[in-house]
Amino acid sequence: MIAPDRDHRPTQDPGVGREPATPPLGLPPGATCTRISLPTGEMLDLLAVPMAEQDPARPPEDESARGRIEETVRQWVSAEAAPPTAGVFVPLYGCHVAWTTHRAAVIGPPERLDQLAAAVVGFAGVEADLRAAERRAAALLDTLEDDVGGSLAFEEHRPDRRAELAARHREAVAVCRRLALLAPAVHAPPLHPPTLAGQLGERLRDRTRLVERHEFATHRAEFAERVAEACGQRALEAGIARRQTGLEWAIVVMLVVQTALLVVELLAQRATP
Amino acid sequence: MNPPTPACAAPAADQSARQASIDVLRAVAIGLMVVVHFAENLAGWYGGAGNAFAGVHRTWWLPTGFAAPTFAFLVGASYRLWLDLQRRRGRSEEAIAKGTVRRGLFLIGLGFAFNVLVWLPEDVFNWDILTLIGCGMLALELARRMPDAVVLFAAALVVAVAPTMRLLAGYPAYWAEGFFDYDFTLADVTLGWLVTGYFPIFPWLAFPLAGYALAAGRAANAGRPAGVGVGLVASATVLVLVWPSLPEAVTGAAAQPWTMFPASTAYVLGTLGAVVLAEAALHRWLDGPVPRGRGLVAWTAPLSRHSLSIYLAHHAVHVWPLWAVGMATAGDPTALWQLAMPIGWAIGLAAVFLVAAAAVCRWVDRRDVPTAESLMRWICD
């Protein structure tokens, strides 16, 4: 069964559903944690910690407290880090952003938190979509050898096999389409004039190698689609040839029976019962 | 004189491809075969027909008429299972073709040798069931390259043209006093193989072909052909009911609708349908994921595994003594044929033979004693 596909709208809020969650301990009052449902169905816990910008003029104690908070946030985010993407930590204009596949955090002045959060959620939606497409493309490659072997087994009459190949081709096309829809979000040029959210998005894309991953996944999916199409074509041709062969065999059977009738008639005239 | 032999052993499928339902059905066919042969050859008893020499189109005692169709059908079904197993094991198509053709030729050769040794040399070309099964194996070698629908079409065609062929060949002229009688001429021998013998290609080849085609998907417990069986039995019933009003092209000028020699269209459809239904029912009962009828299977499987040996042995043990005693007492080997004993004694001896055969087959399996089946595998595989 092919998973229902979704269009990707970078301008749309990718967080489909939001609900409050409990922030970790040791954070200043005002820190909030929100559980966001991404378009792929994955959940992202987003922690927003309001904190003034770094200022060298402030007492060292304040800066030390800031460092502890950042460390706490980093550990909280890293606790959910999962391959293939390790945690990403981006300092940006006095703000800090941490992201893994299931947790993210923004630390910065209260007036910038919404922009940062929106940028992180937008990026997380694109990355989750890309990761899902990568998984589907990898799964397609895993079955390629069997598909090629099965499509060349002309002796076997396997209608179920043809259905499998057709499903695989549909899946390959669906993955290609998904990656094509993701392309504008992945390859989006930098905005001018630059904004904090725009720059954060660019840095997250760079650090997670989103462009290269998209390119590789597209290459894999297109390869799988080409092979699946060729396999399906071969299976289709084999099915058509089999039907034609069946007709030919039916004609041969009728000719043999007709010949037998003639032989019986001829022999009966010569027989001596 | 040429005693009829309406049943025989089929080459068994590979051990690991066996299914209990097929073993049980084949064992039932063996039981019917032994009873009818002992009753006919020792006591001259033909069951419900009453008169042993009722002529060419005599009606046979119904249960005995099911043995040969069952064997022939199971040849096709077993071959399908064996073929699927060989392909799963990666055996090449060429090796499968060679094995199939060798088995077919082996059975044809064995059939001729059997006719000479058991029914005496003048009956070498009586076209008994062994030669039919040998020809069936050769036909299956072709059939396995065809789509199943074409195989079923071929089977239907073979049944459909058989009455016309009998009309063309003058079938009744080849049957004297209810037995196949031919001259050693190319025409008579060929006609016997095609139409007029005991088990001619037309229409008996339909059984292995149908068995092969209907066994498709059987290993995966799919595609139960019970509906086909019901349809065949219903068709046979309709044919029997409307027989007098049917044209000669369907009846073959036979007065009675249900005859085994020749195999009337109603008989072929009815027995085929009954075998298909029986096989489907046994398959449902015995071949499921939960083993059932273990005791039944334990006794019938050895009989089925050695059906070819039993076929050869049961003729030897009851026909050869007849020839020997007849020769010794009256100077004619067939002097006691069908007159040796009352029917009760004959059926009792058949029962004794079956019990002994089951015990011997189990002993043979334990000791790995060479049999006709092992000889066939040694030569053909």
pLDDT in tens, B273-294: 999 999 888 888 888 777 777 7
B149 touches chain A (CB under 8 A): yes
Nearest-angstrom CA–CA distance, B125 and B119: 10
CB-CB contact of A27 with A49 (8 Å): yes
Residues of chain A neighbouring B153 (CB-CB closer than 8 A): 250, 253
Could you give the angle at which helices B343-367 and B294-305 cross, rounded to 10 degrees?
A: 90
What's residue B159's pLDDT? 96
Cα pseudo-dihedral B369, B370, B374, B380, rounded to 10: 150
Q: Which residue from B226, B237, B228 is spatially nearest to B270, judged by alpha carbons?
A: B237
pLDDT digits (tens, 9 = 90+) for A242-256: 889 899 999 999 999
Binning pLDDT at 50, 70 and 90, where does residue A71 land? confident
The first and second tokens of residue A235, run together, are 């299976």
Residue B89, φ and ψ in degrees, nearest 5: -80, -5
Closest CA to B286 of B271, B301, B273, B272: B301
What interface predicted TM-score (ipTM) does this complex get?
0.83
Q: What is the pLDDT of residues B217-238, one digit of tens each?
A: 665 555 557 788 899 999 999 9
- B-chain residues within 8 Å CB-CB of A264? 165, 168-169, 191, 194-195
Structure tokens at A267: 């022999």
A203 and A90 Cβ atoms separated by less than 8 Å: yes
Q: A23-37, A96-110, A170-184, B141-155 — which is least confidently predicted?
A: A23-37
Residue A56 above 70 pLDDT?
Answer: no
Q: What is the mean pLDDT of chain B?
A: 85
Asked if the C-beta of B165 comes within 8 angstroms of chain A's C-beta atoms, the answer is yes
Query: What is the predicted pLDDT for the residue at A266?
Result: 92
Is it the case that residue B9 has pLDDT exceeding 50? no
The answer on pLDDT for A172 being more than 50 is: yes
Q: Do A245 and B147 touch (CB under 8 A)?
A: yes
Between B69 and A83, whose confidence is greater? B69
pLDDT of A16: 52
Interchain CB distance below 8 Å, A246 and B164: no
In tens, the pLDDT along B342-367 reads 888 998 999 999 999 999 998 998 88
Question: What gap in Å lies between CA B203 and CA B215, rounded to an integer?
Answer: 20
**Out of A246, A268, A270, closest to residue B149 by CB:** A246
* Share of residues in chain B with pLDDT > 70 (%): 88
Determine phi and psi for A43, rounding to 5 degrees: -110, 140
Residue A57 has pLDDT above 60, yes or no: yes
Burial zone of A159 (CB within 10 Å; 0-12 exposed, 13-18 middle, 19+ buried): exposed
State how far the Cα of B83 lies from the Cα of A155, in Å rounded to an integer.
13
Residue in A180, A108, A179, A126 with CA at minimum distance from that of residue A13:
A126
Residue with more model confidence, B4 or A202: A202
Task: Give the pLDDT of residue B49.
Answer: 47
pLDDT of residue A55 exceeding 70 = no
Taking the CA of residue B256 and the nearest CA in chain A, the distance in Å comes to 23
pLDDT digit string (tens) for B298-331? 888 889 999 999 999 999 999 999 999 999 998 8
Q: What is the DSSP letter of B198?
A: S
What does the pLDDT read at residue B15? 46
Positive or negative: CA dihedral A163, A165, A170, A174: positive
> Can you give the pLDDT at residue A61?
64
C-beta atoms of B170 and A268 within 8 A: yes
Domain ranges of chain A: 17-236
Q: How far apart are CA B161 and CA B147, in angstroms?
A: 21
Count of Cβ atoms closer than 10 Å to residue A7 Cβ: 9
Instruction: Quickly list DSSP for B33-52.
Output: HHHHHHHHHHH---GGG--T
Largest CA distance in chain A: 128
Specify the higher pLDDT residue, A29 or A6: A29
Closest CA to B372 of B134, B131, B107: B107
Mean pLDDT throughout B116-132?
91
Q: What distances in angstroms separate CA A136 from CA A133, A145, A178, B20, B141, one per listed residue?
A: 5, 16, 10, 44, 44
Would the CA dihedral through B251, B253, B257, B258 be positive or negative? Answer: negative
Q: Provide long-range contacts, Cβ within 8 A and 24+ apart, for A162-165.
A: A162/A232, A162/A235, A162/A236, A162/A239, A165/A228, A165/A231, A165/A232, A165/A235
Most confident of A16-20, B103-107, B171-175: B103-107
- Residue ranges covered by each domain of chain B: 15-380
Nearest CB among A249, A257, A261 relative to B146 is that of A249
Closest CA to A200 of A127, A105, A87, A119: A119
Asked whether the whole model's pTM tops 0.80, one would answer no
Predicted local distance difference test score (pLDDT) of residue B46: 65
Q: To 5 degrees, how large is the angle CA A14–CA A17–CA A20?
A: 120
Q: What number is the average pLDDT over the span A157-164?
A: 72
Of the candidates B60, B117, B277, B104, the one whose C-alpha atom is nearest the C-alpha of residue B201 is B104
Mean pLDDT of chain A: 81
B185 close to A (CB below 8 A): yes
Asked whether the predicted pLDDT for residue B56 surpasses 50, the reply is no
C-beta neighbour count of B276 within 10 angstroms: 25
The two three-digit tokens of residue B166, written as one number: 């009998």
Half-sphere exposure of A173 (CA within 13 A, CB side): 9
Q: What is the dihedral of CA B312, B316, B319, B322, to 10 degrees?
A: 180
- Predicted pLDDT at B64: 67
pLDDT band, very low/low/confident/very high, at A17 (cuts 50, 70, 90): low
In tens, the pLDDT along B145-167 reads 998 999 999 999 999 999 999 99
Q: Please give the C-alpha separations between residue A183 and each of A129, A131, A133, B259, in angstroms, as whole numbers.
A: 11, 13, 12, 77
Among A109-123, B5-19, B178-192, the minimum mean pLDDT is found in B5-19
Instruction: Pick the residue from chain B with its C-alpha nearest to A154.
Output: B145
Distance in Å from the first CA to the final CA of chain A: 69
What is the Cα–Cα distance from B141 to A102, expressed in whole angstroms? 61
**Distance separating alpha carbons of residues A60 and A64, to the nearest angstrom:** 6
A161-165, A182-186, B206-210, B322-326: segment of lowest average pLDDT = A161-165
> Mean of the pLDDT values across residues B3-28?
61
β-strands A32-37, A17-21 pairing: antiparallel
**B166-181 average pLDDT score:** 87
